[in-house]
Amino acid sequence: MKRETELKVQAWLDGELPAAEAAEIRRGAETEPALTRLAAELRFARSCFAGGELSRSVPEPREFYWSQIERQIHRTEPSVAVNALPLPRPWAAWLRWLAPAAIVAVLALLLISPEHPVGQHKHVRASEVDTPLDDLGSFTFHSDAEQINVVWVGSF
């Protein structure tokens, strides 16, 4: 079942669909088993939520809280005049253009750099292997023709 169909079933149960779409979804819920199961699950979930939600009452009327909010908004409005705002620094405009240009330049240098061409890996040969145990030893073999390293770790 498509996600869009599931959302339409939910909207149908919530009474949010236009009459034509609601009738179509209702017919589908009556004939299609998947839609019937989904509608039953959503109805069950709604009944569980409806019984489990706590009702909270407030001793003061609603207008009291809105008036408090409005008073707080008016109290905290900025009292600074528009003319008192700091002027932008002259170098701030340059910084807006120089920072992205510098980033582009660094990326270009990294891509053009001959030491690390893009797509090629630099092979590093390990010349020494540290072992935490005294009775272990290792032997390393490197083949340039095959470009392979073999490390034999054994107990001596």
What integer is the mean pLDDT of 4-26?
90
> What residue ranges do the domains of the chain occupy?
3-52
CB atoms within 10 A of CB 6: 14
What token pair was written down for 69?
């909010």
Cα atoms found within 13 Å of the Cα of residue 81, Cβ hemisphere only: 2
What would the two tokens of residue 80 be? Answer: 């600074």
- Each residue of 76-107: pLDDT tens digit? 666 555 555 565 677 677 777 888 888 999 98
On whether the CB atoms of residues 39 and 14 are closer than 8 A, the answer is no
Using the predicted structure, report yes or no on whether residue 120 has a pLDDT greater than 60.
Answer: no
3-state secondary structure 21-79: HHHHHHHHHHHCHHHHHHHHHHHHHHHHHHHHCCCCCCCCCHHHHHHHHHHHHHHCCCC
Please answer whether residues 46 and 39 qualify as being in contact, where contact means their C-beta atoms are separated by less than 8 angstroms. Answer: no
Q: 60 vs 115, which has greater pLDDT?
A: 60
pLDDT over 80 at 70, yes or no:
yes
Write down the pLDDT at residue 123: 54
Burial class (CB in 10 A: 0-12, 13-18, 19+), 138: middle
**Mean pLDDT of the region 133-153:** 77
Residue 41 structure tokens: 């699950």
- 29: Cβ contacts below 8 Å, ≥ 6 apart: 9, 12, 35, 36, 38, 39
Q: Which residues pair with residue 137 across a beta bridge? A: 154
pLDDT of res. 82: 54
- Give the pLDDT confidence of 24-68 residue by residue, as tens digits: 989 988 899 999 999 999 999 888 887 777 777 777 788 888 888
